[in-house]
Structures are given as structure tokens and as C-alpha cells.
Amino acid sequence: MIPYGKQLIEEDDQNAVMEVLKSDFITTGPKVTEFEDAVKKFTGASNGVAVSSGTAALHCSMFAIGIKPGDEVIVPAMTFAASANAVLYQGGTPVFADVNPENLLIDPESAASLITRRTKAILAVDYAGQPCDYDTLRKVTDENGIYLLSDACHSLGAEYKGRKAGVLADMTSLSFHPVKQITTGEGGMVLTDNKEFAEKMYHFRNHGITTDYRQREKLRAWHYEMTELGFNYRITDFQCALGISQLAKLEKWVRRRQEIAAIYDKAFSSIKEYLAPLPSSPDVSHSYHLYVIKVKNAKRDILFHGLRKKDIGVNVHYIPVHLHPYYRSIYGDLRGLCYNSEQVYKEIISLPIYPHLKNSEIEYVIDCIYKMVKK
């Protein structure tokens, strides 16, 4: 099976992990700060808080801006459920905005139309690895005195108008799940220029306790205080060692992802009547966590099952969040709420893309698609 995404763990990555496993620290140790510093340096963000997953990162950011029952956060319907779940964890209400049907990114006009006096933030999701229209979103959030948050779990290594994903919003969440641009197994990070938010999140990831074990060791003190109801969202030192090693290859790997996308784009330009890749804006450098096509003439499912039969692990990203049974159980039947997201969901397929995908495998995928759509 050629999967749609897959990690690449090389010998130097393995050595980096082994070194930490032989050291004194396997959970919170020096590698956590080192990884935070490396991601800060890469993106240009001033603060980084490494945590156990992208979902934890999103939850930390909702905590830092003080989301509580009665507060609303605007979230695109076309995203992974974790983007909206993070609002629910804090007792807030996710309000679903529609996406632009071309690129599947949050439509700033739809988001603006949903703002009420309860709205605290817009969470922009860089779907597939393409940054959203942050200039327009920033205008909307500034005019309304609310926060702009970024779910960049897909877009590490991407840029918007020459600025890296990570510095485009008040707070940015990253994920290091194995199918992402770099991995720590499970892992995530929040980036922010707001020192106060970062301080809150350092505590929140550690049960709401004001010092961590290493800080207390340094002071030779045992006393600690829990001042907030936090969680155990800590990431381990060996995961961070893997992250540091992987980060050094990020630019090379993103270039390869872009190269693969260009091969697909070129191949599909001659079968436009059957399918269309999602377009990439000239304002961005896309980091292609996913390569998504829209299949025309209601043929998505036929192509999907046909490719799976050929051992190509295509996938669908995503079922619009408000259509999940859990959301239906709390909001009722919201079918029709986000027309573009619901329509486009029936047309999309994610094709294989990862740095070590071979050219022969790309050709095989293209060849299978050509044969199937022309049948």
C-alpha cells in the first residue's frame, strides 16, 4: 500500500533519540527547551510551548485567551474535529464558518458575519498546508477586538507573503504527528509573541503548577503550587530530540513535497474535465501536508475505491465537523449550515505525498487515475 502520508525516520534521528534514552532525563529535560528554541528560530516566533500533541496545543491556546462557558470561537467547518473540540474542552462554543470552495480555507466574509458580542477569537486552519488569508482575517479580528488564532497543524514550513506559519496570528498551534511535515511521534507546540500567554501555557501543560521538576531541582526546593486546573500535556525529552533532528531537514522535505505537488499539477492539467487540484495562492509558499483533488461528476467514491483496490492509500480530509454525530448530538441537525464545506466534502480525495515518495510511485498513482477517470 502506498499511504497518503508517512514519516521518514533516518539513522541520525534514531541516534538522537538513543542518546537521550541513555541520559538522566527521559521526560521534561533540556531537549524540550532546545526543541522550543529551534522551532522559534525557524519560524521567528518569540515564545514556544512544546506539548504532547497538536490537540493539546489548541487546548492550551484556548486556555491562554481565557475561553469559558458562554464564549464563542469561530472555526471553519472543513477541518479535523480537534480544532473545534479544543473550544469545547474549555466550555466554549465553536461556531462554524464556511470555507472558500476553491482552496477550502476559512472564508473571512463568512467568519465576519458570525461575530457576536460573545465571540472571542477566530481560529484559522491552514488546510492542507496552505496559509489562510491572514491579512483579511487580521482586519476582521482587529475591527472587532478579538483574537486571531492559527491552527497550523498542517502548515509547518509554509509561508504567507514571506512570513512563516507560526508568526501569522496571536497564537499558532503545530502538530508533529507522523503524517505531518516533521514528527515527534505524537507532539505539538504553541507559538506566540505574547509572553504572558506563554507563561500561562507553561503552567497549563504541567497540571497548572507554577514550577517544573527541573526548576525545583535547581533551587533545591520541594515546594510548588498549583494555581490553575491544568493537564499533563508534557512532551518527553526523547520526542524533542527526534523533533530537533527532524527540524533540520524540514526545508529540504518541504521542497520535495512542493516538487511532488508540481508533478501532480502538471499531470492533472490535461484531465481538467474530470478532476481539479486545489489551487495555491501566489501569496503563499504551500508546505503540502496534503495534496487534495476535487473529483467532478459525482465520481469521487468510484475513484476512491478504485485507487484503494490498486493499493493506493487515498483518504478524505475531512467530514465537515458539524456533521459528526457528537456535534449533531449537541447542536442538532446542522445540515446545510456550511454549504461549500458540505458540497466539497463529497468531491475531495487526498493523494499520497511525503518526501520519500518515489517518482515511480507518483507515476503509478497518476497512471491509475488517468485510466480510471477515462473509463
Ligand X SMILES: Cc1ncc(COP(=O)(O)O)c(C=O)c1O
Binding site for ligand X (CB under 6 A): 53-55, 79-80, 82-83, 125, 151, 153-154, 175, 177, 188
Of 141 and 181, the one with the shorter C-beta distance to ligand X is: 181
Q: Shortest Cβ distance from residue 36 to ligand X (Å)?
A: 16
Question: What's the rounded Cα separation, in Å, for the pair 243 and 270?
Answer: 40
Sheet containing 93-97: give its strands across.
47-51, 188-192, 171-175, 147-151, 119-125, 72-76, 93-97
Of 151 and 347, the one with the shorter C-beta distance to ligand X is: 151
Of 131 and 188, the one with the shorter C-beta distance to ligand X is: 188
Full DSSP string of 183-230: --SS-EEEEES-HHHHHHHHHHTBTTBSS-HHHHHHHT-----B-S--
Q: Shortest Cβ distance from residue 271 to ligand X (Å)?
A: 28
Q: Which residues contact 24 (CB under 8 A, 6 or more apart)?
A: none
Of 30 and 178, the one with the shorter C-beta distance to ligand X is: 178
Of 296 and 324, the one with the shorter C-beta distance to ligand X is: 324
Q: Are strands 188-192 and 171-175 parallel, antiparallel or unpaired?
A: antiparallel
Q: Which residues contact 231 (CB under 8 A, 6 or more apart)?
A: 56, 59, 204, 205, 207
* Strands in 237-370 per DSSP E: 275-277, 284-285, 291-295, 312-313, 348-351
DSSP state of 315: B
Q: How many CA atoms lie within 13 A of 83 on its CB side?
A: 31
Of 175 and 340, the one with the shorter C-beta distance to ligand X is: 175
Q: How many residues does the chain have?
A: 375
Of 54 and 355, the one with the shorter C-beta distance to ligand X is: 54
- The closest residue (CB) to ligand X is 54
Q: Shortest Cβ distance from residue 70 to ligand X (Å)?
A: 24
First-last CA distance in the chain: 23
Query: Is 101 exposed, middle or buried, given 0-12, 13-18 or 19+ CB atoms closer than 10 A?
Result: middle
Q: Shortest Cβ distance from residue 289 to ligand X (Å)?
A: 8
DSSP state of 338: S
Q: Shortest Cβ distance from residue 57 to ligand X (Å)?
A: 7
Question: What's the rounded Cα separation, in Å, for the pair 283 and 234?
Answer: 35
Of 164 and 317, the one with the shorter C-beta distance to ligand X is: 317
